[in-house]
Structure 1
Amino acid sequence: MNFILAGHGNIAVEMKNSIEMIAGEYPNVRAITFQLGDGIETLKDKYLKIINQSTEQPFIIITDIFSGSPYNAAAILAMQSENIEVISGLSLPLCLALLHLDYSSISLEETFEQLNDMKSDFIKSFKKIAKNIAEEEEL
């Protein structure tokens, strides 16, 4: 599985750097930037440059904001190829989870279902956890 991280400004590049800091280098993870003045065509060209250089398919493109320009450009490409999936909500937990799924046993379509099952693991409230622990200790 190949991954392209994309978002406004340099967020995707920095996300890739953070992934490498935590989990090591992943040659199948690439990042693109979306700078002021770039448009949908520029983004599509950036995606295609990466996709066309790879002999391995499929690709998951992870963007920062649903329906933002990086997402919309990726969605156009996904409509043209069954080997491209687009997921919004770029975050470090999401990326790490995606990198550790067993793609030999799930389809590209099942990837999103697996992520939905894990989404409660991505966002945690310290106060809620502390309250639950305190309530358990009272029992």
Structure 2
Amino acid sequence: MNFILSGHGKIACEMKNSIEMIAGIYPNLYTVTFEPGDSIEKLQDKYLQIINQSKNQPFIIITDIFSGSPYNAATILAMQLSNIEVISGLSLPLCLELLNLDFSLFNIENAFEQLNDVKMDFIKSYKSLSKHVSTEEEL
């Protein structure tokens, strides 16, 4: 499976740097930046430059904001190309989980469903957790 990280500014590049700091190099991990002045068409061209080099292999494009320009450009391509899935909510836990999924067990359409634990568990509130722990200790 191939992955493209994309978002506003250089967030995708910095996310890749963080991933590599924690988990090592992923040769199938690419980044696309969305710079001031870029259009949807320019983003699509950036995605296609990467996708076309991979000879029809599947891609998951992970974008920062649902319905933002990087997401919209990616979904236009996903409507045209069956080998692309688009997921929003770019974060380090999401990326680490996706990169470590065993894609031999399921296809690209099932990737999002495999992330149920991450979708529910990666956003935490210290105060909410500490209240829950305090309540349990009182029992």
Contact 1:6–1:34, Cα closer than 8 Å, also in 2? yes
| SS in structure 2 of the partner of residue 60 of structure 1 | strand
Q: Paired residue for 1:72? A: 72
Matched residue, 2:132: 132
The structural deviation recorded for 1:2 is 0.3
**8 A contact 2:93–2:118 mirrored in 1:** no
**Deviant stretches of 4+, over 4 Å:** none
Partner of 1:14: 14
Shift of 1:134: 1.6
2:110 alignment counterpart:
110
Alignment partners' CA distance in 1, 2:56 and 2:40: 25
Question: Which residue in the other structure is 2:81 paired with?
Answer: 81
Q: 1:65 is paired with a residue of what secondary structure? A: coil
Size of the aligned set, in residue pairs, is 139
Q: Which amino acid in structure 1 is aligned with residue 68 of structure 2?
A: G
Q: Could you tell me whether the CA contact under 8 Å between 1:2 and 1:56 is conserved in 2?
A: no
Aligned to 2:92: 92
* SS of alignment partner, residue 52 of structure 1: helix
Secondary structure of the residue aligned to 2:112 is helix
Tell me the distance in 2 between the aligned counterparts of 1:119 and 1:95: 11
Q: Secondary structure at the match of 1:87?
A: strand
Secondary structure at 2:32 match in 1:
strand
Deviation at 1:118, TM superposition (A): 2.8
Root-mean-square deviation over aligned CA pairs: 1.2
Match of 1:61 in 2: 61
**Contact 2:4–2:29, Cα closer than 8 Å, also in 1:** yes
* Distance in 2 of aligned mates of 1:116 and 1:44: 29
- Per mean C-alpha deviation after superposition, the further-off stretch among 5-14 and 123-132 is 123-132
